[in-house]
């Protein structure tokens, strides 16, 4: 490290569920920022603090179990530690390995890999209170001697040991001499391969060698910028020779875990003493028997989902009403300051309406993230994923797909982003491609409006449930059933592969940290605004322009304001397009006005409600709860029908809802899918298959519903 450089680059590394986020938050406080790693969409959290006049720039890496990269977030950690020159990432001065004191054996696997890299390191022994409750004592000095680096006892959520940890980081100069040795043929092959002279380069090449030996793929960690071409050829030859030798006598993939755990078990047995009775383990086993049992676990899971959706759909109401009122006040204020014309319409109907259309859903997104964060921090989400694995495996996915799909019920954007943790590429893609089929919160206004306007108020099943409620629930179930079918087809065709073995460590139960969960909630909420907001805003302005031009000022002088808006929309470019596509949507039971609403909803599904308000001369401030809009929809009639039959019948209402339940009417979701896959191929595929699926399903629904009513 550079002694003249006051800024010390530090990386925080550890397994999931070790309290790493709490420790990071305690170290840096509020001085943190969120960004993406170079060339990737995976979030990085960077915070700064000072200790005795020296600034510590701390990067919180994604949680991982080893330096054998098997998922995008694990690859990021490996890139940072091993290949800074290749990936344009800066060399780290100090690595802080965060350990769960109650699970040393599992945590030390990653630590032994890190300590071999030749980077000054510090070990933070976290969550010591859980180990104490389990009547476990750890000899800190002996553990430090065995690892060859300082060991500091910390408790992130209580901010204990933070000063000592900062001191250890600021003074860290020790490069651990700890190294797990392998069999003689492997060690000889490593020595032959690591011919570079710099200590860091030798350590880097050793890790590269072990990764390529285990993964059977070129992980691209050993480029020409690290070694000369002759040395690179020598490296590759040594890897191939070692592969051949191991393939002839045994399993080379298990070679590293066997050697490391043998060393770790020897160390742990010498530094850890356990009591006769582990009361916390008894309580955990009792809770696990309840939470992962097929019957009781399912009841708990349904109760949690009920609470979650009650919070998302009901508790967010006041905040959403307040946001809607604020943007309405802002729009009215601008209207009073600017004369009627294109500029006022652009600002009010384009910019303000576009931003408001994004921000108004933020309370629902934040509540969802908060509840998921609480369940995750408590340790429940891993149990829920385990419980769902038996169901997910039947369609070729694992329980790890459950959490991203659950997130998609609020918004597909965080759901797609949550799929990063799935290691298998095909499973990750399949999960992302079916996530938009979950009925997100943006579909709810469409369901509520059309259910109230088209579905009769009638009690069914002996008066236990209303017909309207049944239709609403059916829309959510439809997305789930179709997603399961699509996942099964994808895993049998394009994304063919074996059903992954579900392996997940069940973390210890602990009281959630509201501060940590709130920080994550806020960061994910802001990410939603940045990812989706800019795209929805741009598309809203585009739709505004198509709906605003061309103007027909001289023709509408005798019309009221709302009638003028409806006339202008019908004769705008968007209205002309809607009338042009009427032959395409007519088989679904739709008229050109519904076609306009569908076109206008491409930036975001909820736009359809306001668009219908304009079409029926009610203004664009109508929402799904508007009695006026509902009554106009109930009375709307076909323009070209001599009998003037009603447009919004039961079959038409069901057809529209089914279309919106399955279509890809959300440009921001497609854009995020492109960012996550780094290709336009998959978002285009998602758009095409979902649009075709939605059209066919809507047509079948209309035909079947019409036939049933005529029978």
- pLDDT, tens digit (0-9, with 9 covering 90-100), for 16-48: 878 887 888 888 875 554 444 333 445 567 888
Q: Which tens digits make up the pLDDT trace of 628-673?
A: 566 777 777 777 665 668 888 899 999 999 999 999 867 778 888 8
Q: 218 falls in which pLDDT band (50, 70, 90)?
A: very low
- Nearest-5° angle of CA 445, CA 447, CA 453? 100
The residue ranking higher by pLDDT, 613 or 515, is 515
Rounded to whole angstroms, the Cα distance separating 34 from 431 reads: 25
Q: Are strands 459-460 and 465-466 parallel, antiparallel or unpaired?
A: antiparallel
* CB-CB contact of 578 with 547 (8 Å): no
Residues 323 and 445 in one domain: yes
Residue 464, domain member (yes or no)? no
Residues sharing a CB contact under 8 Å with residue 523, sequence separation 6 or more, in sequence order: 34, 43, 45
Residues sharing a CB contact under 8 Å with residue 427, sequence separation 6 or more, in sequence order: 396, 397, 398, 400, 401, 495, 497, 500
Residues 318 and 378 in one domain: yes
Q: Which of 203, 168, 181 is nearest to 97 (CA)?
A: 168
Residue 463, domain member (yes or no)? no
Contacts 24+ apart (CB under 8 A), 703-710: 705/650, 705/651, 705/654, 705/655, 706/589, 706/651, 709/649, 709/650, 709/651
Residues 109 and 217 in one domain: no
Rounded to whole angstroms, the Cα distance separating 164 from 283 reads: 33
What CATH number should be reported for the domain holding residue 85?
3.40.50.300
Annotate 64-99 with DSSP letters as a single string: -S-SS--SHHHHHHHHHHH-HHHHT-PPPSEEEEEE
Q: Which of 176, 113, 175, 123 is nearest to 152 (CA)?
A: 123
Residues sharing a CB contact under 8 Å with residue 522, sequence separation 6 or more, in sequence order: 366
Asked if residue 550 has a cis previous peptide bond (ω within 30° of 0), the answer is: yes
* CB-CB contact of 348 with 331 (8 Å): yes
Residue 514, domain member (yes or no)? no
Residues 89 and 163 in one domain: yes
Per-residue model confidence (pLDDT) at position 1: 43
Per-residue model confidence (pLDDT) at position 41: 41
Last residue of a domain, one of 426, 451, 476: 451
What's the whole-number average pLDDT of the chain? Answer: 77
Q: Which tens digits make up the pLDDT trace of 115-166?
A: 988 889 999 998 887 777 767 889 999 999 999 999 999 987 777 888 999 9
Above 70 in pLDDT, residue 354? Answer: no
Residue that the structure tokens 């369609």 belong to: 395
Annotate 403-452 with DSSP letters as a single string: HHHHHTTT-HHHHHHHGGG--SHHHHHHHHHHGGGS--GGGHHHHHHHHH
Burial 47-59 (b: 16+ CB within 10 A, else e): bbbebeeeebbbb
Q: Which of 66, 81, 158, 69 is nearest to 112 (CA)?
A: 66
* DSSP character at residue 10: E
Q: Which of 244, 267, 264 is nearest to 66 (CA)?
A: 264
Rounded to whole angstroms, the Cα distance separating 689 from 676 reads: 19
Q: Which tens digits make up the pLDDT trace of 458-487?
A: 777 666 777 888 888 888 889 988 998 999
Q: Both tokens of residue 112?
A: 């032994």
Q: How many domains does the chain have?
A: 4
Residue that the structure tokens 């630590």 belong to: 111
Last residue of a domain, one of 396, 419, 451: 451
- Nearest-5° angle of CA 436, CA 437, CA 443? 85
Q: 700 falls in which pLDDT band (50, 70, 90)?
A: very high
Residue 701, domain member (yes or no)? no
- Which residues is 138 bridged to in the sheet? 272
Residue 558, domain member (yes or no)? yes
Rounded to whole angstroms, the Cα distance separating 610 from 618 reads: 9
Above 70 in pLDDT, residue 250? Answer: no
Residue 476, domain member (yes or no)? no
Q: Both tokens of residue 494?
A: 């394009």
Per-residue model confidence (pLDDT) at position 436: 92
Average pLDDT over residues 222-230: 47
Q: Which of 318, 326, 325, 416 is nearest to 367 (CA)?
A: 318
* DSSP character at residue 603: S
Residue 442, domain member (yes or no)? yes
Q: Both tokens of residue 633?
A: 């929809």
- Which residues is 12 bridged to in the sheet? 60, 96
Helix 229-249 vs helix 184-193: crossing angle, to nearest 10: 170
Residues 65 and 192 in one domain: no
* CB-CB contact of 633 with 648 (8 Å): yes
Rounded to whole angstroms, the Cα distance separating 574 from 584 reads: 16
Rounded to whole angstroms, the Cα distance separating 77 from 97 reads: 13
Residues 23 and 157 in one domain: yes
Residues 158 and 24 in one domain: yes
Residue 159, domain member (yes or no)? yes
As to burial, measured by CB atoms within 10 angstroms (0-12 exposed, 13-18 middle, 19+ buried), residue 249 is exposed
Q: 544 falls in which pLDDT band (50, 70, 90)?
A: confident
Residues 387 and 268 in one domain: no
Last residue of a domain, one of 598, 614, 647: 647
Q: Both tokens of residue 22?
A: 């709490």
Residues 105 and 248 in one domain: no
Residues 14 and 137 in one domain: yes
Residues 198 and 301 in one domain: no
Report the chain's C-alpha Rg in angstroms: 29
Q: Which of 213, 161, 672 is nearest to 413 (CA)?
A: 672
Q: Which tens digits make up the pLDDT trace of 71-81?
A: 766 777 777 88
Q: 598 falls in which pLDDT band (50, 70, 90)?
A: confident
Residue that the structure tokens 């049944």 belong to: 470
The residue ranking higher by pLDDT, 121 or 287, is 121
Distance of CA 462 to the CA centre of its chain: 41
Q: Which of 352, 361, 349, 347 is nearest to 326 (CA)?
A: 352
Which residues span the domain enclosing 324?
Answer: 296-451
Q: 95 falls in which pLDDT band (50, 70, 90)?
A: very high
Residues 255 and 334 in one domain: no
């Amino acid at each position: 490290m550079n002694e003249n450089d006051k800024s010390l680059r530090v990386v925080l590394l550890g397994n999931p569920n070790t309290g790493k986020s709490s420790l990071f938050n305690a170290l840096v406080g509020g001085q943190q920022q969120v960004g993406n790693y170079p060339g990737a969409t995976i979030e990085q959290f960077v915070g700064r603090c000072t200790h005795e006049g020296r600034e510590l720039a701390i990067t919180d890496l994604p949680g991982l179990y080893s330096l054998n990269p098997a998922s995008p977030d694990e690859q990021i950690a490996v890139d940072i530690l091993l290949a800074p020159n290749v990936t344009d990432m800066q060399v780290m001065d100090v690595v802080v390995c965060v350990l769960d004191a109650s699970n040393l054996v599992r945590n030390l696997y990653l630590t032994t890999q890190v300590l071999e890299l030749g980077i000054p390191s510090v070990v933070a022994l976290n969550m010591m209170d859980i180990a104490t409750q389990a009547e476990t004592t750890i000899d800190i000095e002996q553990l430090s001697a065995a690892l060859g680096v300082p060991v500091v006892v910390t408790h992130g959520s209580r901010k204990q040991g933070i000063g000592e940890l900062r001191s250890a980081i600021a003074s860290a100069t020790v490069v651990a001499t700890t190294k797990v040795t392998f069999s003689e043929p492997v060690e000889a092959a490593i020595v032959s391969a690591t011919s570079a002279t710099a200590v860091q380069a030798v350590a880097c090449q050793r890790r590269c060698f072990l990764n390529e030996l285990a993964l059977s793929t070129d992980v691209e960690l050993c480029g020409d910028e690290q070694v000369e071409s002759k040395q690179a050829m020598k490296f590759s030859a040594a890897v191939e020779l070692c592969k051949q030798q191991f393939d002839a006598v045994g399993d080379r993939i298990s070679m590293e875990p066997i050697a490391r755990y043998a060393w770790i078990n020897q160390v742990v047995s010498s530094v850890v003493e356990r009591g006769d009775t582990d009361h916390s383990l008894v309580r955990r086993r009792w809770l696990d028997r309840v939470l992962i049992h097929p019957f009781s676990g399912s009841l708990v899971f349904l109760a949690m989902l009920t609470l979650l959706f009650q919070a998302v759909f009901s508790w967010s109401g006041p905040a959403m009403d307040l946001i809607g009122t604020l943007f309405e006040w802002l729009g009215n204020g601008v209207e009073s300051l600017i004369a009627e014309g294109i500029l006022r319409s652009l600002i009010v109907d384009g910019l303000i309406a576009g931003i408001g259309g994004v921000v108004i859903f933020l309370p629902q997104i934040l509540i969802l993230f908060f509840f998921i964060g609480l369940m995750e921090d408590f340790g429940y989400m891993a149990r829920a994923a385990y419980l769902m694995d038996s169901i997910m495996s039947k369609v070729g996915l694992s329980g790890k797909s459950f959490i991203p799909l659950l997130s998609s019920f609020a918004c597909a954007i965080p759901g797609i982003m949550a799929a990063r943790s799935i290691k298998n590429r095909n499973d990750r893609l399949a999960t992302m491609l079916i996530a938009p089929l979950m009925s997100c919160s943006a579909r709810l206004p469409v369901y509520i409006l059309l259910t109230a306007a088209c579905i009769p108020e009638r009690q069914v099943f002996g008066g236990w449930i209303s017909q309207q409620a049944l239709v609403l629930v059916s829309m959510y179930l439809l997305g789930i059933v179709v997603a399961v079918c699509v996942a099964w087809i994808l895993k049998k065709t394009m994304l063919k592969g074996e059903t992954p073995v579900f392996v997940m460590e069940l973390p210890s139960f602990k009281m959630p940290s509201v501060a940590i969960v709130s920080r994550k909630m806020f960061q994910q909420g802001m990410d939603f605004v940045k990812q989706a907001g800019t795209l929805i805003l741009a598309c809203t302005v585009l739709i505004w322009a198509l709906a605003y031009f061309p103007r027909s000022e001289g023709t509408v002088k005798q019309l009221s304001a709302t009638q003028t808006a409806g006339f202008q929309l019908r004769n705008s470019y968007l209205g002309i397009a809607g009338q042009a596509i009427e032959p395409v949507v007519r088989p679904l039971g739709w008229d050109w006005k519904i076609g306009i609403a569908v076109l206008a909803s491409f930036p975001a599904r909820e736009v359809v409600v306001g668009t219908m308000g304009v079409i029926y001369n009610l203004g664009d401030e109508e929402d799904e709860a508007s009695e006026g809009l509902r009554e106009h929809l109930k009375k709307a009639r076909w323009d070209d029908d001599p009998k003037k039959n009603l447009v919004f019948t039961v079959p038409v209402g069901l057809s529209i809802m089914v279309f919106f339940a399955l279509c890809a009417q959300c440009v921001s979701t497609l854009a995020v899918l492109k960012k996550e896959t780094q290709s336009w191929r998959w978002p285009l595929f998602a758009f095409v298959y979902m649009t075709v699926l939605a059209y066919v399903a809507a047509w079948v629904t209309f035909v079947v519903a019409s036939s049933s009513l005529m029978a």
